[in-house]
A = this chain, B = another copy of it.
Amino acid sequence: MPPLNEPRWLDPDEMAAWRGFVTASNLLNRRLERQLKEDSGLSHQQYEILVHLSAAPGDSLRMTELADKLVTSKSGLTYQVTQLERTGLVARRSCPSDVRGVFAELTDQGREMLRQAAPGHVALVRELLIDVLSREQLAVLAEGLGEVSARLRLDETP
């Protein structure tokens, strides 16, 4: 009979996948953080804010929506947007249809900063992750982790 109360531990293959995921994630973040800070004075989080805004219609997003995309807390986003506002890369705009609403909007200066920072960042992502993996590995990674993300998104909301 299968053990019901005993936890199902990870076998060596599963453990290798899990440790690889955690380690690669930490190492990558560390490197990208360093590169962005040295190269453009931006944190990875700040860079991601600019990226998401530039990809949004009107170069602007509601605070809550942006926080969801970034997978961060609302208060954390408030802090970072304030920082970016101080350096002139992002501006706050109030929402016409909802008095409570606040749009974060990419400024011209923010767009220019992104244009300057993106090449170096993308090159490093390529060097450290993308170009290390084969086309097949990339496909598996995209599909697998896409599914993982999708499921995680689901039981957050309800």
Contacts and interface: CB of A to CB of B under 8 A. Distances in A.
A34 to B, nearest CB: 10
Interface in A1-37: 7-10, 13-14, 16-18, 20-21, 23-28, 30-31
Contacts of A10: 122, 125-126, 130
Nearest to A18: B125
B152 A24 contact: yes
Q: Is the interface of A mostly helix, strand, loop or mixed?
A: helix
A128 B141 contact: no
Interface residues of A, number: 52
B148 A30 contact: no
Interface stretch (A56-64, A91-99, A101-109, A132-140): A132-140
A138 B26 CA distance: 19
Contacts of A71: 23, 26-27, 30
A27 B138 contact: no
A121 to B, nearest CB: 9
